[in-house]
Amino acid sequence: MYTFVSRQKTSLEASYEVALILTKERKSFREGELVKKCAIKMAEVFGEKKVAEKFKTVSLSHQTMARRVTNLSRHVSCKLEILMGKCRYFSIALDESTDVSDISQLLIFARIVDEDFLVHEELLEIHPLSGGTKGSDIYAALDSVVSEYGGFKKCSCIATDRAKAMVGNKTDLVGLLKQNGVDCITLHCIIHQEALCGKVLKMMDVMQSVVKMVNLIRGGNKAQRHRRFMSFLDEVDA
C-alpha cells in the first residue's frame, strides 16, 4: 500500500514538473504526450523496463496539463495573498503593453517588504484592457487587482511608464488615484526618465561625435585599425 501511494505521489509530482517546463518554454499542452513517449522510449533503450513502467503512470494529456497549470497559478496567488497581507509596505510598477494578438494589457509588478524586512519582487497580474487604455480603464484595472490583496493602505509608491493616460493629474491614473484617496508617491519609470532627459538636453552634437569615432575604429572593413586601437588601450592600461 505504501509503495502504491508513494508511486502515485511521485507520478503526480512528475506531472507538475512537466507542466511547469512546458509553460516556461511556451509550448503547447499537447506536447506533454510527446514528452511521455520520448521518456518511455529512452528508458526502454537503456534497458530500464521498470523505469519505463513508471513513466507510463505519469498523466501528461493536454487536459491534465491545463489543470496542473491552473493549480500552479492558484498556488502562486495564495502565496502572494499571504505575503501581501502580512507585509509592512509594498510598491507597484506599471507598464501598459500589447500581446502577440494585439490586445492591450496592463502589467502590474510589486516590490514587497515583509515582516523580516526581506524584499520580494513579483508579478501580481497581467490584466487585459479590453475596454480601452484611458486613465479610467487603467485605474479600474489596477484598483481591481490591488483590492484582491488588501487595497492601497500599505502602498508606498507607484511607478508608471510615460504614457499620458497614466501621468495626467486630472482624469488620468495619477489624478484618479489622488481623487480616490490613494496617498502615495507616484514616479516615472527610471528608464523613461532617462529617455526624457536625453530629449530635453538635446545632446545630438555629442552623439554624432561618438558615432563618428565608433565608425572610424569599428565600422566597415577596419579590422586592422580596431586591433591597433585595442593594442593602444593595452599599452595605456585602459
116 and 23 inside one domain:
no
For position 62, what pLDDT does the model report? 92
96 and 62 inside one domain:
no
CATH number of the domain that 188 lies in?
3.30.420
| Structure letter (DSSP) for residue 101 | T
213 and 188 inside one domain:
no
* CA dist., res. 172 & res. 129, Å (int): 15
63 and 102 inside one domain:
no
C-alpha distances (whole Å) from 81 to each of 68, 77, 84 are: 20, 6, 5
Phi and psi dihedrals of 83, rounded to 5?
-65, -45
For position 1, what pLDDT does the model report? 47
Within a domain: 108: yes
Q: Within 13 Å and on the Cβ side, how many CA atoms surround 187? A: 14
Q: Within 13 Å and on the Cβ side, how many CA atoms surround 85? A: 7
For position 2, what pLDDT does the model report? 45
6 and 106 inside one domain:
no
Q: Are 187 and 160 in contact (CB under 8 A)?
A: yes
Indicate yes or no: pTM above 0.75: no
Q: Under DSSP, is residue 47 helix (H, G, I), strand (E, B) or coil?
A: coil
Phi and psi dihedrals of 120, rounded to 5?
-125, 135
For position 190, what pLDDT does the model report? 66
CA dihedral 9→13→15→18, nearest 10 degrees, is -160
> Which three three-digit cell numbers place residue 222?
577596419
Within a domain: 82: no
- Closest by alpha carbon to 172, among 143, 145, 139? 139
Binning the chain into helix, strand and coil, the percentages to the nearest 5 are 55, 15, 25
pLDDT by position in tens, the chain (length 238): 446 668 888 999 999 999 999 999 989 999 999 999 999 999 999 999 999 999 999 999 999 999 999 999 899 888 888 888 888 899 999 988 877 777 888 899 999 988 888 898 988 888 888 878 888 888 999 999 998 888 899 999 998 876 777 877 777 888 888 888 888 888 877 666 666 677 777 777 777 888 888 888 877 677 788 888 888 888 888 7
- Closest by alpha carbon to 180, among 129, 137, 140, 124? 140
91 and 176 inside one domain:
yes
Q: Please state the domain count of the chain.
A: 3
114-141 burial, b if ≥16 CB within 10 A, otherwise e?
beeeeeeebebbebebeeebbbebbbbb
Range of the domain at 216: 209-235
